[in-house]
Amino acid sequence: MKSHGFDFDLFVVGAGSGGVRASRVAARCGARVVVAEELRLGGTCVNLGCVPKKLFVYASHFGDEFADAAGFGWTVGAPQFSWPDLVANKDREIARLNKVYRGLLEGAGVSILDGRARLVDRNTVELGGRQITTDKILIATGSRPHLPSLPGIEYAITSNEAFHLQKLPARVLVVGGGYIAVEFAGIFAGLGCQVSQLYRGSLFLRGFDRDLRIELAESMRQRGIDLRFDSDVAQIEKAGGGYLVSLKSGERIETDLVMYAAGRTPNTAGLGLAAVGVEQDQDGAIVVDEFSQTSVPNIWAVGDVTNRMNLTPVAIAEGQAFAETVFNENPQKPQYDNVPTAVFSQPSLATVGLTEEAARQQHSAIDIYKAHFRPMKYTLAGRNERTLMKLVVERGSGKVLGAHMLGPDSAEIIQGIAIAIRAGVRKVDFDRTIGIHPTAAEEFVTMRTPQQ
C-alpha cells in the first residue's frame, strides 16, 4: 500500500466535500494522506453554499409563518428581523462545522496543510515555498461563481458576498436562471426586500420538469417577485446610493444590490495542471474518465472541478468511489442516473429521474400522473399557494421513470421516493401502498388516472 520514496501516498488539493471524503476513506485504507486547503475546511457547501444558504432559506420562511399563524388563532405582535443577528449566528455555525471537518480529518489520520497548493510535476506539489512529494494526487478544488464581462460588472456581487452583506438592501436585482438565482430571489423576498429576477431565457431552471418550472414562476410572482424572462443586462451604473441597471431591451431598473448567479467556473487556474499535462476542456474543467482519472495516470479529480454533476452528494460519491478504487482494490464508478435533487425555492421543488420531456424523447409511450392541490395548512392560513406532484411512468412496463414535486417539504418527500425509483419501483407498487393521512405525500400513492 505505502509508496516508499514519497512523502505521502496521496496528496489531495481541496478540502471540500469530495476531497474530505476521499481523504478519510483513503486514510482508513492505510494510505498516508495529506490534504491542502487555501480557504476553510468544508469547501463551498459548508462555507458559501448549501449550508449557509439553507439557513438563510429557513430565516426567510418566518415571515410567512407569522402571517399564517393568525388563521390558526394566534395573535403575533409586529415581527422584527435583524440581518446582523442572522449573519452572526450563521457564521458561528459555519465555524463549528469547520472544526467538525478538521476533527474528522485528524481522526482519520489525515495531515492538513493550510494554503494554496500548486503542482510542480506529477509527483511534486508546492505549498508555501515547500515542495512535497506524493505517489498520487487528487484535485478537488471545486468551482467559483462566474461573472460576465460587461460595463459596470465590478458593482455586482455573487452568492459568495451575499452571505456577508453588512446590511440588508431594500431593493435587490438577481441575475440568472439557475437554482442559486431562484433560491436567493426567494431568500431576499422572504426577508422583506423588493426583488427582481432577470433571466435571458424564456423560463428559468432549464433541465427541470417544465410543469414545475411554470408553476414555480407563478408562485414567485404571487409572492411579489418581479420575474423578467428573455431579459439581459447591458450595463450597470452607480446611481446615488444604489445602482441603475440598463437592460438590452432599453429598460432600466433602479436597485440597491445587483447579484449575479449566472453559472460557475471550475477552480483550475494557477494549479499548474497544463504544465503537468492534465487535460482540461474549453471551460477549464478537468477531463476525467469514468473512474475520475485524468489524462495523467497518477492524478485524479472529483467534484465541481470536473463539471460533471455539480452537487455536493455527488462529489462525496465520487470521492468515495475514487478511494475505494485506488486504495481498497474495490473498483467503483459514480452513478449519475436517478440522482435526486432539490431547489430550495419558495415553494421548494424536488425531483428524481426523468422529466416528462426527457421521457418522451427516450421512450415510445409514457403515462403522466398529476396531483395539483392546495396544502391543508393553507386552508386556514388563507394562502393561495398550491402543490404540484407528478409521476412519469413507462406505459408498457409500468416502471416509474421520474417523480417531481413542487411544494412544502418536497425535498424530504422525494428523498424517500428516490430510493424506490433506484430500486426499480413500478406504478402498481405506488398503488398498493397505503397513504399516511392527512399528508401531502400520500398524493403520490393515490394518483390513479393518467393525464389525457
**DSSP letter for each residue of 250-279:** S-EEEESEEEE-S-EEES-TTS-HHHHT--
The backbone region for 329, taken as left when phi is positive above 0, alpha when psi lies in -120 to 50, beta otherwise, is left
pLDDT digits (tens, 9 = 90+) for 164-177: 999 999 999 999 99
Mean pLDDT, rounded, for 255-275: 96
> What percent of the chain is modeled with pLDDT above 70?
99
CATH of domain 153-262: 3.50.50.60
pLDDT for 2 equals 56
Cell of 266: 471550475
Give span(s): CATH 3.30.390.30, the chain: 341-445
pLDDT for 191 equals 97
pLDDT digits (tens, 9 = 90+) for 333-353: 999 999 999 999 999 999 999
pLDDT for 76 equals 85
C-beta atoms surrounding 322 within 10 Å = 30
pLDDT for 113 equals 97
Strands annotated E in 270-363: 299-301, 341-343, 349-353
Which of the four CATH numbers 3.50.50.60, 2.40.50.140, 3.40.50.1700, 2.30.110.10 does domain 8-144+265-327 have? 3.50.50.60
pLDDT digits (tens, 9 = 90+) for 90-146: 999 999 999 999 999 999 999 999 999 999 999 999 999 999 999 999 999 999 999
Tell whether the model's pLDDT for residue 295 goes beyond 70.
Answer: yes
pLDDT digits (tens, 9 = 90+) for 182-194: 999 999 999 999 9
CB-based contacts of 449, cutoff 8 Å, min separation 6: 369
Residues tagged active-site: 437
Mean pLDDT, rounded, for 322-338: 97
Architecture of domain 341-445: 2-Layer Sandwich (3.30)
Single-letter residue type at 322: F
pLDDT for 3 equals 60
- Locate cell 394518483: which residue? 447
Sorting pLDDT into bands at 50, 70 and 90, what band is 417?
Answer: very high
Tell whether the model's pLDDT for residue 1 goes beyond 90.
Answer: no
* Cα of 334 vs its chain's centroid, Å: 18
Give span(s): CATH 3.50.50.60, the chain: 8-144+265-327, 153-262
pLDDT digits (tens, 9 = 90+) for 373-407: 999 999 999 998 999 999 999 999 999 999 999 99
HSE-up (13 A, CA, CB side) for residue 349: 30
Residues facing residue 362 across a β-bridge:
none
Q: What rounded mean pLDDT belongs to the chain?
A: 96
**Rounded to two decimals, what is the model's pTM?**
0.96
Q: Report the SS3 class of residue 62.
A: helix
Single-letter residue type at 49: G
Mean pLDDT, rounded, for 363-376: 96
Residues facing residue 157 across a β-bridge:
259
Mean pLDDT, rounded, for 232-248: 96
**Element spanning 247, H or E:** strand 242-247
pLDDT for 447 equals 97
HSE-up (13 A, CA, CB side) for residue 325: 20
